[in-house]
Structure 1
Amino acid sequence: MAKPIYGGWVTFTAHLSLKYNYELFKVGKRTEPNKRDYGYGIEYKNMRIDDLLEKNNLLITAVDKHYWKYLYLFPKGTRLVIHDPTELKGKDNKIVELLDNFEIITIRKTVQDLLLNKYNKKSTFLYHPFYQYPKTSESSDYYSLSISRIDFDKNTDLILKANKMIKSDDKKIQIFGAENRLYVHHKLKDLEFPKYWHGKFPKTLPLSYKGKDLLNNCHYIIDMSIIKGDGGGTQYTFLEAIYHNCALILHKEWVQNGDLFKKDYNCYVVGYTDDIGKEIADIINTPLNNKYKSIIKNASKILKSHTQVKWFCE
C-alpha cells in the first residue's frame, strides 16, 4: 500500500514473498484477472479493497499517505510492518491514529522502542527476512560501491567527497540507486555526481548491471544513512553486502543507535572528524589486510538471524 517502486519497502516485500512463497497484492481501482511484474522475479495482482478484505491472514508490508484512507477498513489485529520513524510523521497521520487497530511488526529495535516510549504501543520485533538467492559466477567490475537511494538521509555527498581523495580511479566509489532530484540539485551539483552515478539497477536478485552481479568481488559497500530516531540495525543494502562478502563502511550515527554493528569488528565506522570524506578514503586507500578479512568473517554471523527468522506467513 505504497507508491515507491524502489527502496527498502520494495526490497523487504520481495524478500518476504520469495522466502515464504507469499502471494502479493496491491490495492487498485479494480480487481484484475492477470498478474503484473513486481520485479525480483515476483508477480503481484491489483485488487479492489473490498475483494482484498475477503482474504485471510493479511500482512501489510508498507503503507504511505496515499493509502491511509484504507487503513480503517482492515479488521482489528491485521498485521502492519513499520520500517522507520518517518512513517509516523506528518499532520493527521492515520497510522498513528489507528495504531491500536493493528498488530505492529518492527524490523529494527530502535523503532520498537520508539513505538513503546512515544506512543505506548507494544510491537513485535522480527529480523528482516533474507531470501538466499542463487549467486552467479560473474565478477563485478567495481572495487567499492554505494547501492542506496541518493537522498538527504543517505548523505551521498560524503561519498562523492571521498572520491576526490581516493588515489586509484579503479577504487573510486561507484553509485547506483534511485535519485531524489532535489537533493542532487542542491547538494551534489558541484561534486561530479554524473561521473560516478550509473542510474538505477534493475530489480533483480542478485543485483546486476550489464549482465554482471554487482556485488561479486566487490570489496566495500559504503552507506552513510542517518535517520533521526532510527539506526543500529540492518538494511537490505547491508545484508546483501554481507551475503556477498563485501565489507561495510557505515556512519557512526547509525552504528551508535544499537549494539549489532561494532567498529573494526564487523564493519568500518566513520564520522569522528569534520572530514568524513577523508575517513572513507583512508579506508579504501589502505591495502586489504587481516583486519579487512576479520571484519568480513565477523559480519557473516549477522546474516544467520535473517535467514532463519520465522515470519507469520510460513
Structure 2
Amino acid sequence: MYGQSTQFLYLHKYLVGGATTFTAHLIHRIMKNKPIILRSGNANRSEKKLRDFGYGLVYQNVASDVVHKIKYPFITLYKENYFHLISKLNEKRINFDDITLVIHDHRDISKSSLPYVKKWKLITIRKTVQHYLKNKFDLDSLFLPHPFYTYPVITKKVPTDVVSISRISFEKNIDIILRANKLLNDNQSIKLYGCISRIYVHHFLGGQNGDFTKYYYGQFEKSFSTLSKILAEAKFVVDLSVLKHDGGGTQYTFLEAIHNGCALILHRNWLKNNDVKEEYCDFREGYNCFAVEDEKELSDLVKKNPDTSRIVKNAKKLIKRHANVDWSFLLKND
C-alpha cells in the first residue's frame, strides 16, 4: 500500500483551512482515482477505518512507524507538532528528493526542521514565501501556482450578499469586519462563515456573547457545492488577511470567490507591504480587486455598492493560470 507510488501525507491535527482546501483541489486536479490521504499521529497502531476528509476525499490515521516505509511521500501540509516524523522520513533513504513538501507560509519551516527538509523537493505556492525561504534559510524551492479544480458553480441572477469565508482566526482581521458591520444597516452587513478559533473570538471579538454571533452564519460543510451555494448569493467576498513575510499572491478564498463570480475586497497590506515585491503581486486595486485598510473604508465601499463586472472579468484571468498549472510531474510510480 505504501510502497511504489506517490502517497499523500497530511501532517497537521486540524482538517480545516487553506491547506485542507489545497489538498482537495490538488487531488481532484491530478488524480483520476482518488487516493487515501494518510494522516499520522502518535498512535502505535493504524486505524482500518477511513474518515471523511471533505470534498469527496477520505483519510486514514496511521501509526508513525508506517511513515518511514513510504517510498514517495507527498506532504501537502507539515506543522511542527509532527516534527517527530521528519527523521523517520529520512531513515535509510538514498534519494531525498523522492520526498515532496508543499510550504504554505513561513511558519512551515523552522531551524529545527531545516536540517531534515533541505534535501527534499520543496514547493512554494506564493512568490513571497519562496523569496523569504531563500533569504532566511538559503532554501531553494520550486514555485508553482495553487492548483485549482474548476468544479461546477451555482449562479444567481442578482447576487447581493457581502460575505467572508475565511477562518475566524488570527491574521484574518475579522475584527475590522465586525466594526464595519456596526456602521452598516442590517441588510448591508457582512456575513461571516468559517471555522472558529475560540481563543481569537474570546479575546478579539467579544466572545460568544458579543456582536460576533449576530453576524456569524456557521462553519460550512467541506464540499464544493456547499461553498458554491454560499457564493452564489454573494456580490462581494471580503478577505482581509495580512500574513507576516507573505502577501501578494493567491489564497483559496480568493480563488473560490473569483471562480464563483464574486468581487474580492482585500486588505491593502496584502497588495503592498515590505515583504511583497511588485512583481510578486497578482492583484491590483481597482483592476481585479477592491482594497481597504479599515472599517470606515470597508463600510463606505459596501454602502457605495459599485458595479463589479470589470473587476470580476479581470480577476477571472487568474483562474486560467491555476486551472492549467501542471502538478502531475511530481507524481511517481515505479
TM-score w.r.t. length of structure 2: 0.84
The answer as to 2:247 corresponding to 1:228 is: no
Letter in 2 for 1:254: W
Tell me how far 1:96 sits from its aligned partner: 2.5
Matches within 5 A, 1:165-176: 165-167=183-185, 169-176=186-193
The answer as to 2:268 corresponding to 1:260 is: no
- When residues 80 and 140 of structure 1 are mapped into structure 2, their CA distance, relative to the original with a 3 A threshold, is farther
- Structure 1 distance, partners of 2:236, 2:176, is 15
Q: Find the residue that maps to 1:207 and give its secondary structure.
A: helix
Q: Find the residue that maps to 2:187 and give its secondary structure.
A: helix
Tell me how far 1:43 sits from its aligned partner: 1.0
Aligned to 2:212: 193
Aligned to 1:160: 178
Q: Percent identity?
A: 39
Letter in 1 for 2:76: T
Moved more, 32-41 or 260-269: 32-41
Tell me how far 1:18 sits from its aligned partner: 1.6
Letter in 2 for 1:27: S
1:234-269 deviations in Å (ceiling 9; x for gaps) = 110000000001011111111112421001000001
Tell me how far 1:141 sits from its aligned partner: 7.9
Tell me how far 1:53 sits from its aligned partner: 3.5
Unmatched tracts of structure 2, length 5 or more: 1-10, 91-95
Aligned to 2:291: 269
Aligned to 1:241: 257
Q: Pick the aligned partner of 2:39 from 9, 15, 26.
A: 26
The answer as to 2:77 corresponding to 1:62 is: yes
- When residues 288 and 270 of structure 1 are mapped into structure 2, their CA distance, relative to the original with a 3 A threshold, is closer
- Structure 2 distance, partners of 1:51, 1:262, is 46
Tell me how far 1:48 sits from its aligned partner: 2.9
8 Å Cα contact 2:67-2:85 kept in structure 1 = no
8 Å Cα contact 2:265-2:292 kept in structure 1 = yes
Aligned to 1:8: 18
The answer as to 2:105 corresponding to 1:84 is: yes
Tell me how far 1:39 sits from its aligned partner: 1.1
Letter in 2 for 1:118: K
8 Å Cα contact 1:222-1:249 kept in structure 2 = yes
Q: Pick the aligned partner of 1:204 from 201, 214, 223.
A: 223
Aligned to 1:72: 87
Unmatched tracts of structure 1, length 5 or more: none
- Structure 1 distance, partners of 2:67, 2:331, is 17
Aligned to 2:138: 120
- Structure 2 distance, partners of 1:164, 1:246, is 23
- Structure 2 distance, partners of 1:136, 1:293, is 18
Q: Find the residue that maps to 1:269 and give its secondary structure.
A: strand
Tell me how far 1:52 sits from its aligned partner: 4.0
8 Å Cα contact 1:142-1:170 kept in structure 2 = no
Tell me how far 1:8 sits from its aligned partner: 1.0
Letter in 1 for 2:38: F
- Count of residues paired in the alignment: 301
Tell me how far 1:87 sits from its aligned partner: 2.2
RMSD, aligned CA: 2.1
Aligned to 2:148: 130
- Structure 1 distance, partners of 2:230, 2:202, is 27
Q: Pick the aligned partner of 1:107 from 118, 125, 130.
A: 125
Q: Find the residue that maps to 1:299 and give its secondary structure.
A: helix
TM-score w.r.t. length of structure 1: 0.89
- When residues 146 and 101 of structure 1 are mapped into structure 2, their CA distance, relative to the original with a 3 A threshold, is same
Q: Find the residue that maps to 1:154 and give its secondary structure.
A: coil
The answer as to 2:201 corresponding to 1:184 is: yes
- When residues 206 and 279 of structure 1 are mapped into structure 2, their CA distance, relative to the original with a 3 A threshold, is same
8 Å Cα contact 1:219-1:246 kept in structure 2 = yes
- Structure 2 distance, partners of 1:189, 1:177, is 17
- Structure 2 distance, partners of 1:226, 1:160, is 17
Tell me how far 1:142 sits from its aligned partner: 6.0
Tell me how far 1:170 sits from its aligned partner: 2.5
Tell me how far 1:128 sits from its aligned partner: 0.8
Moved more, 44-53 or 147-156: 44-53
